[in-house]
Structure 1
């Protein structure tokens, strides 16, 4: 298996027509902090309107039109991704905006092939649900949307400001039953922190933390909180596995560089999105041997003190460092 950190992180964005997928792409690009993000924009029609709305340079904006990236344009997509990754200066991340009719599952085989070949690392699958129009959809369309949402890591219940509380509750209840392993985030204009989107190789350099651990950007300061730590030491592998299993439901995102006492010279990358977690080897590309770990969640339910206490039980050896 190729080394994880050498692979380019890739996220997919799905959602029904008009849900706000391109808005989400631009939200991500607006928080990129100077990092290079290549965007694939797919439109089923012959004219790709969304392509012109993506706010990035032309060289990093690829139009896949007059077909669907999950079927007829699949080969073009794979070939283009390989071309970008093999560039002398490969992108920091890749974002794929699928067409409004695409089934998110149809890309799985291509992504798995690209991952196995060491080209990309699938960081997160996002789905944008149009809360304002969901209740007016025909039954078949609504059922399809829920079916598609259920296979994604994060579901953005977008345009939530246009929906009455009772209607939002019904959508949340429906998603909780149909998509129990997806994290649901209510958004306005797909406003979501980029650190929730990208995992072991975050591209955000704009987000800083106050003493209260709130993510300090104008959009997210009151919505998300984080807890993080950095220290020189080792973790107990079995205790960490138990700790990691307790995270889904308590947070939206967790990631880190870890070292375990049974293999101290083999740093590991940990990445949790929703209910999907991975641990894989990290190449020794930097001098730092510190353990670094961050957890991000919704402010209204986030309990940093409990997380810190639980993580402390995982540490088998600690020489120095601090938590935020």
Structure 2
């Protein structure tokens, strides 16, 4: 194996071959990974970035940036490429390596319930490892909700997301306040003593902090990647309805599901309302943001819900949301 502490140019020179530098962007549900990705894409410094995400819908990229969409690939005006991960992450990387011209750097947004250490192990054992270099593993931590992860069924997963990081982006610090932010910093350093922490309030981080030869603020510590076969304790479902929702009934229903649904995100079709509504929920925090008019599109509700398996009843959730229709 090549020296894991080496910088990308050193690794490339030592290997004698062109290698694709990869940055993993990890973090728990709702931490701000997508916001960080959008920030990096819009900064643009001329390099050809490629991005692998679980679903295009999660990125909400400004339509003015999109040149064309073909299959699972989206081409942006700034030269970046976004691809959807459907089944096989390694296959997605191999497909990008085969593109012409190939990307100069790859960003991978992991699922909010993914273990970045397991992903590192996957790359270390895959044939594609000879063509790539893991340049950075960034974990986004939400300062508002991070302390809530302790003493929960998902505490182990949350801790591995921090332990697997090369650097931490501590997000929403202004909303958390100085006292709580300091408590979260202590929790992080207890788990990862050499953690390099970059604080932000809106998920925006300068490109040079995360990418490039210098990677300002990145710790030299590299945790040993050891696979954890245990699955995460979450389940998910997608709720769809072509019939409009009653706004107040939906609001009351989602508040009543705080202990059942930890994360929710999607577009809502409210009765007698001409605009799309982007709904997001993380823990007890909820937001409703007006989008564009439905126009020629058929109004439709599509909502992803995620919760801890022991309290997640798909039939009951579907029935509760169906009761909001009408």
TM-score normalised to structure 2 length: 0.54
Match of residue 160 from structure 1: 173
Match of 1:127? 139
Q: 1:274 to 1:192 in 2, by over 3 A?
A: farther
Q: For 1:18, which of 30, 33, 45 is the aligned residue?
A: 30
Select which of 28, 50, 54 maps to 2:58: 50
Alignment partner, residue 83 of structure 2 = 62
| Map 1:193-204 → 2, pairs under 5 A | 193-200=206-213
* CA deviation after TM superposition for structure 1 residue 174, in Å: 1.1
Aligned residue number for residue 108 of structure 1: 120
Deviations along 1:98-145, whole A, 9 cap, x unmatched? 111111111113322468643211110000111112234462234532
Whole-Å separation in 2 of the counterparts to 1:167 and 1:160: 8
Residues 115 and 160 of structure 2 are in contact (CA less than 8 Å); yes or no, is this contact kept in structure 1? no
Aligned to 1:188: 201
The answer as to 2:193 corresponding to 1:175 is no
Equivalences for residues 216-235 of structure 1 within 5 A: none
Q: CA deviation at 1:165?
A: 1.2
Superposition deviation, residue 178 in structure 1: 1.0
Give distance in 1, aligned partners of 2:102 and 2:183.
43
Distance 1:88 1:62, change over 3 A: closer
Work out the CA distance in 2 between the residues paired with 1:28 and 1:4: 29
> How far, CA to CA, are the matches of 1:17 and 1:56 in structure 2?
26
Structure 2 residue runs of 5 or longer lacking an equivalent are 3-11, 68-73, 76-80, 224-326
* Counterparts in 2 of 1:156 and 1:274: CA distance versus 1, 3 Å: farther
Q: Deviations over 1:205-255 (max 9, x none)?
A: xxxxxxxxxxxxxxxxxxxxxxxxxxxxxxxxxxxxxxxxxxxxxx724xx
Stretch of structure 1 that moved more, 116-125 or 98-107: 116-125
- Retained in 1: the 8 A contact 2:52–2:92? no
Q: Can you give the 5+ residue segments of structure 1 that lack an aligned partner in the other structure?
A: 66-72, 203-250, 254-272, 278-324
Aligned-partner Cα distance in 2 for 1:187–1:56: 27
Answer with 56-65 or 170-179: which moved more.
56-65
Match of 2:320 in 1: none
Matched residue of 2:36: which SS? helix
Structure 1 residue 182 displacement after superposition: 2.4
2:53 corresponds to which residue? 41
| Counterpart-to-counterpart distance in 1, 2:195 and 2:210 | 13
Q: Distance between the aligned counterparts of 1:4 and 1:42, measured in 2? A: 33
Q: Aligned pair in 2 of structure 1 residues 16, 53: CA closer, same or farther (>3 Å)?
A: farther
1:32 shift after superposition: 2.3
Partner of 2:217: 252
Report the CA distance shift for 1:195/1:155 in structure 2 as closer, same or farther (over 3 A): same
> CA distance change for structure 1 residues 56 and 142 in 2, over 3 Å: closer, same or farther?
farther
CA distance in 1, matches of 2:17, 2:201: 33
Which residue of structure 2 lines up, in the alignment, with residue 228 of structure 1?
A: none
- Between the aligned partners of 1:4 and 1:252, the Cα distance in structure 2 is 28
Q: How many residues align?
A: 197
CA–CA separation in structure 2 for the residues paired with 1:32 and 1:195: 11
Question: C-alpha distance in 2, partners of 1:56/1:95?
Answer: 18
Tell me the C-alpha RMSD between the 2 structures.
2.8
Give the aligned partner of residue 275 of structure 1.
Answer: 221
- Paired residue secondary structure (1:275): coil
TM-score (ref. length: structure 1): 0.54
Offset of 1:200 from its aligned partner? 3.0
Q: Distance in 1 between matches of 2:185 and 2:92?
A: 37
